[in-house]
């Protein structure tokens, strides 16, 4: 299944009763496996989980640690980028050149990279690790 199709499919499972804004994310790991996540809202804001964070958690739970590609889709007028926290989460497992495809349900897409989304990312190098 293409990555954007996987993100679109998992978006249908989002739990967004408060905002009504459902997001789906899919990541391809370094091994080629695809992991998906959808946003899960909670009435006690900000205790929800972003779609990107869910996909990353699924990848890590499967024992993988490298992101090779990302896709995010939402029902919006323009492609929606990950929030700041998810940009940092993506940077933890992806190099700056990893492609990120952002899409709308109507087919508009924008392709960027993790590095363009989060220039100057904080990393283990800043802590003397890595």
Q: Which residues are annotated as a binding site?
A: 50, 83, 86
pLDDT at 130: 64
118: number of Cβ within 10 Å: 20
- Domains of the chain are 3-127 (3.40.140.10)
DSSP conformation letters of 31-80: TS-EEEEE-B--SSTT--B-HHHHHHHHHHHTT---EEEEEEEESSSSPP
pLDDT in tens, the chain (130 residues): 699 999 999 999 999 999 999 999 999 999 999 999 999 999 998 899 999 999 999 999 999 999 999 999 999 999 999 999 999 999 999 999 999 999 999 999 999 999 999 998 887 777 787 6
Q: Which residues are annotated as a binding site for Zn(2+)?
A: 50, 83, 86
Catalytic site residues?
Answer: 52
pLDDT at 1: 64
pLDDT at 73: 98
């Amino acid at each position: 299944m293409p990555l954007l199709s996987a993100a679109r499919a998992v978006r249908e499972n989002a739990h967004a009763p408060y905002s009504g804004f459902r997001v789906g994310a899919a990541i391809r790991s370094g091994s080629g496996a695809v992991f998906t996540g959808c946003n899960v809202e909670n009435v006690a804001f900000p205790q929800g989980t972003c779609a990107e964070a869910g996909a990353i958690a699924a990848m890590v739970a499967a024992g993988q640690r490298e992101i090779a590609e990302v896709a995010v889709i939402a029902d919006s007028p323009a492609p929606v980028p990950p929030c700041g926290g998810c940009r940092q989460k993506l940077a933890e497992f992806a190099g700056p050149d990893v492609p990120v495809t952002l899409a709308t349900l109507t087919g508009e897409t924008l392709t960027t990279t993790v590095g363009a989304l989060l220039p100057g990312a904080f990393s283990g190098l800043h802590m003397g690790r890595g």
